[in-house]
Structure 1
Amino acid sequence: MSPLESVDERLQQAMKLVLLATVPGMLMLFWLYGWGVLINLILAAATALAVEATVLQLRKQPVKPTLSDGSALVSATLLALALPPYCPWWLTVSAAAFGLFFGKHLYGGVGKNPFNPAMLGFALVLVMFPQQMTHWPASHGMDLFGGLQQVFGFSFGQAPDAWAQATALDSLRINKSLTMEELFAGNPAFGRFGGRGVEWVNLAFLAGGAFLLQRRVFSWHAPVGMLASLFVISLLCWNGTGSDSHGSPLFHLLTGASMLGAFFIVTEPISGAKSPTARLLFGAGVGLLTYLIRTWGGYPDGVAFAVLLMNLCVPALERFAASRQEQVAP
């Protein structure tokens, strides 16, 4: 086996494990939101594979080996899991196509992308279509026919009423008068510690991340850096349970895309940092920026923007880590 074939085989095996690790979170999202999650996955995967195959053909490169490595499917899966279920079909297709082309193939393909493709596609549609990106469904609220009608605009009868609601992060960001106790007691988006149902989704992604850590798919540095940073900054800025509260550390860890980001986004090996120290700093920066965007920014969840901003900082982080290593070397 040549060294190149060995690298390709290791990449393919890692991608299979990542896809397997997303299953618990995927199932919890399906339980919480229904068929929209599956529709997103199919649309994103089909678009990503089609874009990848088209670009490879235009470049006169072999299509099958690259498609079989699983990297495009992983990017599509992570993007689909981050998008709101039942968003319009063209939004999912646009995000997947933009992420794969401008986040991956514009720089030469797998192994060369400076930005996370899934988060690049997500950020594009979040900026361009903020209204559609804030329509998250109420839990357990739509069957398959209703979901197809919502996504594609088909007419299977009367559309479901009041199917969307503000998320817990969005409700907290715009809250001006209610205490945290009142929000948790009266707002249907709030559960016991975080977003209703989203708490279990985050715990499911945590379980998948623990599986990947056990299989040594990635090191602990970036996930621990992100979660520790998010915990510390939310603890320092936690101002109680009044109407001006920014939420407890547990709320921020179990709401939004915290665990998906920590174990499946910041661990992306190409656009992320390489050395252990740089990975730790990279994750810490993502956690800090996520909290700042959630609390004082214009978007309820800042994981995507935090990751892309820290992607820009990777060369500086690597230089800093290298200099620190030289200083401590005997």
Structure 2
Amino acid sequence: MLSSCDDYQATKNCKSEERKTPKQQRTATEGACNIAGDIARAVAVLTAREERTIESDEPGVYPLNGKKGRVLIINNSFYDENRDENPHSRKPACDKDVENMVNLSMFLGCDLYGDKAHLDKSAEEMRTFLKGISRISKNHCSFVVIIIMTHGNLLKDESEKQEIEVLYGNNGETDYIKRKEIDNMFQNDVAVSLQGIPKFFIYQCCRGKIHMEAIDSQIETDDIETDGITVPIFSDIVTINSTLPGHIAYKDGDGSLLITSINTIFRKHGRKKHVLDLLTMVNSEMLKNLRSYRQSHQSLETILIKPMSVLESCLVKHFYLTE
């Protein structure tokens, strides 16, 4: 019962109802229904807020404070319209990826860095954009998202005597930026103005040459405390990679598998769940993909692949994209 009237008040109201005309009674009934509807809607809103608060008691929530997120989108297509052949072209999949990420950013109420997606950029231009967004003040945004869609690989670095991950600029094999270089730009002692707010990275690129082949399954069917003075070198960062280190990333005519999965999950659940839950759901969505893949343009031989995205996080609170 929505009414809080006691028996006396209810009896009094019933007697007065008997004296009303049918038209007055209908008006009163409609008014009561409207009030009941308003109360039900208010209860639903309060319940939703309470559920989020309860879920978010541990380990806390990154505050949005009415500010929007800022999204940097970089996409390299490696397509040259003046060439007869473009064996390294990422089109048309990458065009769909850009469309999905731009529309998703708008759907979630975020602002695009530079008011657009940045297409076919050299490594040096990529550095400029990355340094730019790393210097944004957290007074102007509640979180930043960096989406890089390009070719990538593992290269031997003679100076470091080890293999390093690189992301290619649009100008070819010698035009690249080291993944480590990007990581360093967002250290707490470098990106000082972004300390304490989430930095969300989405990498759609290969990380080597190894295929993610499918195998047969054998499975049967407190609040964070700190000293208040220091911060770690890396914190408040979450990254989703399109593939494991050393492995290939995949796409089809509808877009890259990771970007398509992110678009699907974030559109369904992005306004109510926090990012780590969303990305776990993205991993689950990726699990649905079993594809045949031709190993080279020259060969007709195919293998079965089972792609999987890789999540890395040093978030210290729940990270919501909307209030």
- Alignment TM-score, normalising by the size of structure 1: 0.24
Larger Rg over CA atoms: 2
